[in-house]
């Protein structure tokens, strides 16, 4: 906890997102800050985790209606930015790492070219220097034979390697905020931890803020200093450890993720009506 610095990189107050003017809110009244720290967002499928992350990065489709009392990144109002200003921020100051690298990497460009392009665009490096930076970054994400990988296309590499390539590409510009949305759920169990450890290492090295989005509350608890629990579009609880969980939904989420050290025979079944009452869900 000593490395926690809460001067906010991101400050969100009363965020509300609807997909259409009269649609039900997919995210409602969500408030949180992120400093140079690792913050997790957890919740079941459809609870609004990705929508929250994408709203911050202004990556929602045009039909999405986003309002907030505050949506500040590095002291700047994200809702007042033009598309072009957002393009300049994304990739350089804020980066999104998604579930499956195969859909995020460009299939017709070699890995080396893609990372070098990122270095040229965001760091202003020339061709040769950008390729050198790409090679160094691949080594940094522990790719043993960077020259061979640089010459490959995304479909030629494994999922775990693809996710390390994504991390290299996203973190080469040392963004101030990294949003990782289920960064390991498409990966083989054996490489999940490596990818998270690596992400964690780079984020600390750069003193960036990290938002780790996952349905896996135990995994998030292992990597994050704070956890925001979302249920039906609302942030129902904020925790520093699982032991502190008060909300029945959070407890149900913890119970639904068996602790590998303490296998359970039966998983707890969530009582939706009681949870809705506890979350004061009105829809
Ligand atoms: N492009 C979209 N158009 C319409 N509705 C959407 C869109 N994206 C998300 N939603 C709706 O917003 C709500 C929240 O979805 P979101 O993807 O944020 O959930 P999530 O917590 O990330 O779930 P998962 O764990 O499955 O990724 C859902 O009801 C979903 O159907
Ligand atoms: Mg999602």
pLDDT of residue 159: 86
Per-residue pLDDT, averaged over 61-70, amounts to 96
258 located within any domain: no
The domain containing residue 83 runs over which residues? 5-239
* Whether residue 19 has pLDDT greater than 90: yes
* 142 band by pLDDT with thresholds 50, 70 and 90: confident
Q: What is the pLDDT of residues 191-222, one digit of tens each?
A: 888 889 989 998 999 999 999 999 999 999 99
pLDDT of residue 146: 95
**Protein residue with least CA distance to atom 29, ligand 1:** 46
Mutate to test the pocket of ligand 1, among 49, 59, 212 (most ligand atoms within 8 A of CB): 49
283 located within any domain: no
Strand 209-214 to strand 38-42: parallel, antiparallel, or no bridges (unpaired)?
parallel
Ligand 2 center to 181 CA (angstroms): 7
* Whether residue 2 has pLDDT greater than 50: no
281 located within any domain: no
* 24 band by pLDDT with thresholds 50, 70 and 90: very high
> Under a CB-based contact definition with an 8 Å cutoff, are residues 198 and 141 in contact?
yes
* Whether residue 231 has pLDDT greater than 60: yes
Ligand 1 center to 278 CA (angstroms): 22
3-state helix, strand, coil in the chain (%, to 5): 40, 25, 35
Q: What is the pLDDT of residues 259-278, one digit of tens each?
A: 666 655 555 666 777 777 76
pLDDT of residue 1: 46
| Ligand 1 atom, smallest distance to 20 CA | 4
273 located within any domain: no
pLDDT of residue 280: 67
Ligand of minimum distance to the alpha carbon of 45: 1
**Protein residue with least CA distance to atom 27, ligand 1:** 45
Higher per-residue confidence, 198 vs 151: 151
Strand 5-19 to strand 70-73: parallel, antiparallel, or no bridges (unpaired)?
antiparallel
Express as a percent the part of the chain with pLDDT over 70.
91
Give the whole-angstrom CA distance, residue 74 versus residue 89: 11
90 located within any domain: yes
Cβ within 8 Å of residue 19, ≥6 positions away:
26, 61, 63, 64, 65
pLDDT of residue 257: 76
124 located within any domain: yes
Cβ within 8 Å of residue 257, ≥6 positions away:
216, 217, 218
In whole angstroms, how large is the CA radius of gyration of the chain?
Answer: 19
Give the number of domains in the chain.
Answer: 1
* 23 band by pLDDT with thresholds 50, 70 and 90: very high
Residue 60: CATH number of its domain: 3.40.50.300
- Where would I find the beta strands (DSSP E) of 101-225? 177-181, 209-214
Ligand of minimum distance to the alpha carbon of 25: 1
Per-residue pLDDT, averaged over 45-69, amounts to 96
Mutate to test the pocket of ligand 1, among 46, 61, 66 (most ligand atoms within 8 A of CB): 46
pLDDT of residue 270: 66
pLDDT of residue 283: 47
Mutate to test the pocket of ligand 1, among 16, 26, 231 (most ligand atoms within 8 A of CB): 26
12 alpha carbon, distance to own chain's centre: 15
Per-residue pLDDT, averaged over 234-250, amounts to 92
* Whether residue 53 has pLDDT greater than 50: yes
pLDDT of residue 83: 93
228 located within any domain: yes
Ligand 1 center to 63 CA (angstroms): 13
């Amino acid at each position: 906890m000593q490395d926690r610095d809460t001067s906010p990189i991101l400050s969100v107050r009363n965020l509300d997102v609807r997909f259409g003017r009269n649609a039900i809110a997919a995210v409602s009244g969500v408030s949180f800050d992120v400093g140079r720290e690792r913050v997790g967002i957890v919740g079941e499928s459809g609870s609004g985790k990705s929508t929250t992350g994408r709203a911050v990065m202004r990556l929602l489709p045009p039909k999405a209606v986003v309002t907030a009392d505050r949506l500040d990144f590095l002291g700047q109002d994200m809702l007042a930015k033009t598309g072009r200003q957002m393009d300049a921020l994304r990739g350089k100051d804020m980066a999104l790492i998604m579930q499956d690298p195969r859909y995020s990497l460009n299939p017709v460009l070699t890995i080396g070219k893609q990372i070098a392009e990122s270095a040229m665009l965001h760091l202003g490096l020339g061709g040769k220097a950008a390729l050198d930076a790409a090679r160094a970054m691949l080594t940094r994400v522990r790719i043993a034979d960077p020259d061979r990988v640089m010459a490959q296309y995304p479909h030629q590499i494994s999922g775990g390697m693809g996710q390390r390539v994504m991390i290299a590409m996203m973190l080469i510009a040392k963004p101030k905020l990294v949003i990782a949305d289920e960064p390991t759920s498409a990966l083989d169990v054996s490489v999940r931890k490596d990818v998270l450890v690596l992400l964690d290492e780079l984020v600390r090295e750069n003193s960036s803020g990290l938002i780790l989005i996952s349905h896996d509350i135990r995994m998030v608890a292992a990597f994050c200093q704070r956890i925001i629990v979302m249920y039906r579009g609302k942030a129902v609880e904020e925790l520093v450890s699982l032991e502190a969980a008060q909300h029945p939904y959070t407890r149900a989420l913890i119970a639904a993720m068996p602790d590998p050290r303490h296998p359970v025979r039966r998983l707890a079944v969530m009582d939706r009506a009681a949870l809705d009452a506890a979350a004061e869900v009105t829809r």
